Structure 1
Amino acid sequence: MNNIHLEPLGGGLEIYVSESYRFSTDTILLANFSQPKGRKKCVDLGTGCGTIPLIWLRENKQLEIAAVDIQENACKLAQDSISRNGLIQMTVYNADLKELKGVLPFGYYDLVACNPPYKLGGSGIRNPESAKLIARHETECTLDNICESASRLLQFGGRFCICQRPERLADVMEAMRKFSIEPKVLRLVQQRRSKAPKLFLLEGRKGGNQGFLNVLPTLFIEDESGGFSEEMLQIYGDYKSNHME
């Protein structure tokens, strides 16, 4: 792996990242949107270098977390970050999210989160580097695979949180409902008021009744002057980085 280095995550936590395995603003927004409260059992599917679980633990140490990724190098980075920060609440599993039977207990978790590949398999310009290809294109898993896995892992009433591009909203909702997860909370994200939404954050409930989708106010990344909005500054907290996308 190239250019492995530490970046601060705030709260005294640091994370190992590399050229292939790093994080973006989307990752931090999903971690904030899905943040578990109290004693909860959580899974992060496709965890990469482990950013989302580390941010969860930055805010709440009363968690039991399983971080899953199919890529061995990503898992090693996440494991190194666990060791560096002394976090016993988080366990990394080098596994395929489509084949978790016998790896993680089904019907056990309160929360499953996933920052999935944004592009359909075979669409767009394919990145020749396998790590980035897996992260950006549905080469190893589809939305159906992700939602099916989340549904199996969650207990009744458990939360599934995902982020995606707005053009995939119907696809995500259809996949959720196919596997008994009802979309319940939606939030759109815009760079600024003059731009169309660039991302959505969606929470579904395992076994939830259909209907009554709560659409939250739009999250603006920038304010009118082009700096970070007040809400984004609150989300970032004392995290400082030059790698925001």
Structure 2
Amino acid sequence: MPHQEARRLFPRGLSQPEGGFRFGADALLLASFAAPAAGRRVLDLGTGCGPAGLGLLLARDDADTMVLGLDRDPAMAAAAAANAGRLGLSDRFAARQLDLRAIRDDPALRPESFGLVLANPPYRDPASGRRTPSAPRDAARFETEGGLAAFADAAAYALENGANLALVHLAERLGHVFACLGARKLEIKRILPLAARQGAPARQVLVLATKNGRPGLRLDSALALYAGSGQDTRLSAEALRFCPFLACNAGPRNDRA
């Protein structure tokens, strides 16, 4: 498939390892949220098959931004690299197998060398929620391999002074997010709540934090992801403006493939 057609269809067609964690809309929303803040060198922690890092490159559509994706699962890192090739982005996106907890031990990853870090960490405490028998999927959903604290440690190490971390997490764990980032001098500067519908409680949050940033928080109005009801439920016009990549599932539920 020609690169331009693959880009037009994104995120459809992304290769995902059999039995591995399947990426969701949160990764695409993170890409759109982070795109305006991108530095020239971007680190995508826990890249999976690459939807956030690749989406950021497509959203920015420039020739300068470079993304390095890290994932502890070699199959995921290989899929991310293959997806970059399919999209014609291999010159700007690289993927490596690395446990982010070992980032300080890798001489190729120097401290304070990235202008932006992306993070879509596991959301849930291992003591809560239904666990899955698939080890890769379980590790992607539950904080069994370091969780947000490990992602924040890696981000604080990799970010240039004054550069940004963009992440997505559960609204119900926002206190945990503040604690983890604050302990590492990652000052939260913006929060965008994500709600299923207008007026509904936020289920997730997109967070932008600055390394050694000054206090001062912008709390946005919630982005309602869906409109309509029943079988006519569809992604809202606001959500599609914010993240055009969601258009692959924009129609009514009974029209979706």
Q: Flag whether TM exceeds 0.5 (same fold).
A: yes
Cα deviations by residue, 1:184-234 (Å, 9 ceiling, x for unpaired): 001111001253211011110001112x21011210001355322112122
Superposition pairs for residues 114-193 of structure 1, below 5 Å?
A: 114-193=119-198
Conserved in 2, the CA contact under 8 Å of 1:36 and 1:111?
no
Conserved in 2, the CA contact under 8 Å of 1:21 and 1:49?
no
Partner residue of 2:70 out of 68, 71, 94: 68
Letter matched to residue 69 of structure 2: A
Distance 2:206 2:225 in 1: 14
Partner residue of 2:219 out of 208, 215, 220: 215
Deviating 4+ runs (over 3 angstroms) = 8-14, 36-39, 238-244
Aligned alpha-carbon RMSD (Å): 2.2
In structure 2, the CA distance between the partners of 1:49 and 1:149, relative to structure 1 (3 Å rule), is: same
Counterpart of 2:27 in structure 1 is: 27
Conserved in 2, the CA contact under 8 Å of 1:118 and 1:137?
yes
**Aligned with 2:227: secondary structure?**
coil
Conserved in 1, the CA contact under 8 Å of 2:34 and 2:118?
yes
Letter matched to residue 134 of structure 1: A
Conserved in 2, the CA contact under 8 Å of 1:42 and 1:66?
yes
Unpaired runs of 5+ residues, structure 2, are: 252-257
Q: CA deviation at 1:83?
A: 2.0
Distance 2:228 2:249 in 1: 21
Counterpart of 1:229 in structure 2 is: 236
Distance 1:10 1:53 in 2: 14
Cα deviations by residue, 1:150-193 (Å, 9 ceiling, x for unpaired): 01100011000111111110111111111111000011110012
Letter matched to residue 218 of structure 1: A
Q: CA deviation at 1:34?
A: 0.8
Q: CA deviation at 1:242?
A: 4.8
Counterpart of 2:81 in structure 1 is: 79
Superposition pairs for residues 48-59 of structure 1, below 5 Å?
A: 48-59=48-59
In structure 2, the CA distance between the partners of 1:140 and 1:38, relative to structure 1 (3 Å rule), is: closer
Counterpart of 1:46 in structure 2 is: 46
Partner residue of 2:100 out of 97, 101, 104: 97
In structure 2, the CA distance between the partners of 1:243 and 1:126, relative to structure 1 (3 Å rule), is: farther
In structure 2, the CA distance between the partners of 1:237 and 1:143, relative to structure 1 (3 Å rule), is: closer
**Aligned with 1:241: secondary structure?**
helix
Q: CA deviation at 1:107?
A: 0.3
Q: CA deviation at 1:18?
A: 4.2
The farther-off stretch of 134-143 and 235-244 is: 235-244
Distance 1:32 1:185 in 2: 14
Distance 1:173 1:38 in 2: 22
Q: Does 1:204 align with 2:218?
A: no
Distance 1:77 1:108 in 2: 25
Distance 2:38 2:27 in 1: 21
TM-score normalised per structure 1? 0.88
In structure 2, the CA distance between the partners of 1:22 and 1:216, relative to structure 1 (3 Å rule), is: same
Distance 1:141 1:37 in 2: 26
Counterpart of 2:255 in structure 1 is: none
Identity of aligned residues (%): 26
